Amino acid sequence: MTRPRLKLGSHLARGVGAVALFVVMVLTFLNASFGEASGFPADASITASIGAAMFNLDLGGVPGEGFLVVFIVIAIVLDAALDGAVYLAKREEGGRFAEAFTDGGRDVVDSVLGGDDE
């Protein structure tokens, strides 16, 4: 039997880099200082304040930043993802797009049941 040997070479650079990055991140997190935690006022509605802050309204009891632009950007990205999913769910037949199961799955049913149930 032979014992395993460590292969040294340039392929170890990525692993050493990952370990070095991990050490830097650990040192950064351990040496970071955070301010004192502050609570919300007792009579403030946090949920209503979050909703008001999202749409850039000054209606909540907790002050917040405006997130209207972020809300719109997220809505556009989700809409683009939905459009892409619908586009990818279709397939081409003869140069034009058709539904993925235009026959309602009859080919699958016929192959399982072994007959034509029309």
Domain assignments of the chain as residue spans, ordered by start: 68-113
pTM of the complete model? 0.36
State the DSSP H helix or E strand holding residue 74, giving kind and residue range, or none if neither. Answer: helix 68-89
User: Other C-beta atoms within 10 Å of 66: how many?
Assistant: 13
User: What is the pLDDT confidence band of residue 86, given thresholds at 50, 70 and 90?
Assistant: confident
Mean per-residue pLDDT, 29-56 = 82
Q: Give the per-residue pLDDT at 89.
A: 78
**pLDDT, tens digit, 9 for 90 and up, residues 6-18:** 888 888 889 999 9
Q: Give the per-residue pLDDT at 82.
A: 95
State the DSSP H helix or E strand holding residue 96, giving kind and residue range, or none if neither. Answer: strand 96-98
pLDDT at 49 over 70: yes
Q: Give the per-residue pLDDT at 28.
A: 95
pLDDT at 19 over 90: yes
Tell me the two tokens of residue 86.
Answer: 């619908």
Using alpha carbons, select from 54, 46, 48 the residue that is nearest to residue 71: 54
Tell me the two tokens of residue 96.
Answer: 């034009």
